[in-house]
């Protein structure tokens, strides 16, 4: 049992995938406010265009 625990502690095969997942999640969280602001700006632009027509 102790040897199995030692083997699991030394096993680092899935570490890179977890790190890439965390980086992707952080990028997505950082993009949300920017996309929301861009959406509001585009909404205003389309409103001005439709009002001018």
Give, rounded to a whole angstrom, the gap between the first and last alpha carbons of the chain.
76
Token code pair at residue 44? 């205003």
pTM above 0.75, yes or no: no
pLDDT of residue 15: 74
In whole angstroms, what is the distance from residue 11 CA to residue 9 CA? 6
**Count of alpha carbons within 13 angstroms of residue 40, beta-carbon side:** 5
Q: Along the 53 residues of the chain, how does pLDDT read in single tens digits?
A: 778 778 777 776 777 888 888 999 999 999 999 888 888 888 888 889 998 88
**Total number of domains constituting the chain:** 1
Owning domain of residue 33: 2-52
Q: What is the largest CA-CA distance in the chain?
A: 76
pLDDT of residue 22: 92
């Amino acid at each position: 049992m102790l040897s199995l625990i030692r083997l699991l502690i030394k096993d680092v095969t899935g570490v890179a995938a977890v790190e890439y997942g965390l980086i992707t999640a952080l990028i997505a969280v950082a993009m949300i406010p920017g996309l929301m602001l861009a959406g509001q700006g585009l909404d205003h632009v389309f409103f001005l265009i439709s009002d001018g027509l």
